[in-house]
């Protein structure tokens, strides 16, 4: 699967970090700013040019009545929408939009989102990708703001965590696809992973005790530790990013599963892209 970075810029892409504006996403949890997947992917695009079309995945929401899982699924599907937008895959954007509207309805936050959903469909039909990217961000923020207005701040934490993990899964896949780990600097946000884990641990017992939320928290903690373990050896870095990629892939799969089966460990390795030789 050719998802590698192509056409490196004059800057050192391996050391490219997210800019401060990119880190200052629209949603804040206390003093925590969580970059949207769109911000992460914009930073990846500055470091290299991934083949986004190979990263598009089917938009399928889980069949569940569990609100924590529904909130987590909103985050994952929102990230999938950004991938589809980067790939300029209009049909997949529309699929994501429909699934997001269904999830929002199940969460009771759909009333103010009908117009957003229609706009996503219209921009996708017209191949208006810039407007579509803005509308995706606006939709993501409106879902979270509506949750906040309904005193569902806990669900905002889950949605933000899941969106970031799915974005990290995609980003690590891109970085692992080339020998030099091009774009790895974008991944270096251990403090964010630590704070998200803390936020998850601060949720009410009825939420944080769930197997799926526990799996997300463990993944955040492991990710933070691996990102903090900076090593100058490329092989060691690759091992760490591979572990992060596997863990994120496993928990994302669990979030979208209708079985509500959360992973305790990564039992079957998720394929990692083969490094490009270009």
Q: What are phi and psi of 116, to 5 degrees?
A: -60, -45
For residues 141 and 103, the answer to whether their CB atoms sit within 8 Å is no
Is residue 24 pLDDT above 70, yes or no? no
Task: Render pLDDT for 26-51 as a digit per residue (tens, 0 to 9).
Answer: 344 443 567 888 888 989 998 888 99
CA trace torsion 135, 13, 236, 170 (10° rounding): 20
Place 113 in a pLDDT band, splitting at 50, 70 and 90. low
The domain segmentation of the chain, as residue ranges, is: 25-32+59-255
Place 147 in a pLDDT band, splitting at 50, 70 and 90. confident
For residues 176 and 245, the answer to whether their CB atoms sit within 8 Å is yes
CA distance 264 to 266: 7
Is residue 270 pLDDT above 50, yes or no? no
CA trace torsion 147, 118, 76, 9 (10° rounding): -120
Where do runs of H (alpha helix) occur along the chain?
A: 20-23, 37-47, 67-86, 90-107, 114-125, 129-149, 153-176, 190-201, 205-208, 211-228, 234-255
pTM: 0.80
Instruction: Look at 141 and 103; give whichever has higher pLDDT.
Output: 103
Residue range 13-17: average pLDDT? 45
Closest to 140 measured CA to CA, from 75, 86, 186: 75
CA distance 216 to 162: 8
Is residue 275 pLDDT above 70, yes or no? no
**Residues, the chain, total?**
278
**Secondary structure (3-state) at 28:** strand
Alpha-carbon Rg of the chain, whole angstroms? 17
Is residue 64 pLDDT above 50, yes or no? yes
């Amino acid at each position: 699967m050719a998802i590698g970075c192509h056409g490196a810029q004059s800057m050192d892409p391996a050391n490219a970090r997210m800019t401060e504006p990119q880190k200052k996403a629209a949603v804040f949890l206390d003093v925590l700013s969580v970059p949207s997947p769109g911000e992460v992917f914009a930073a990846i695009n500055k470091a290299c040019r991934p083949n986004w079309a190979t990263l598009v995945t089917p938009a399928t929401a889980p069949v569940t009545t569990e609100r924590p899982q529904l909130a987590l699924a909103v985050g994952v599907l929102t990230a999938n929408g950004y991938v589809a937008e980067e790939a300029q895959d209009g049909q997949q954007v529309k699929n994501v939009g429909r699934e997001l509207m269904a999830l929002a309805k199940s969460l009771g936050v759909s009333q103010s989102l009908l117009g957003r959903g229609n706009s996503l469909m219209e921009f996708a039909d017209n191949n208006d990708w810039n407007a579509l990217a803005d509308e995706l961000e606006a939709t993501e923020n409106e879902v979270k703001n509506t949750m906040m207005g309904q005193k569902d701040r806990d669900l905002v934490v889950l949605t933000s965590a899941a969106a970031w993990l799915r974005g990290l899964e995609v980003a690590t896949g891109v970085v692992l696809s080339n020998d030099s780990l091009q774009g790895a600097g974008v991944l270096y946000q251990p403090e964010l992973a630590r704070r998200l884990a803390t936020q998850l641990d601060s949720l009410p017992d009825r939420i944080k005790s769930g197997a799926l939320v526990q799996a997300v928290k463990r993944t955040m903690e492991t990710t933070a530790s691996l990102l903090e373990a900076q090593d100058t050896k490329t092989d060691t870095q690759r091992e760490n990013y591979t572990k992060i990629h596997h863990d994120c892939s496993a928990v994302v799969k669990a979030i979208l599963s209708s079985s509500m089966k959360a992973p305790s460990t990564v039992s079957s390795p998720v394929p990692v892209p083969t490094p490009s030789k270009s």
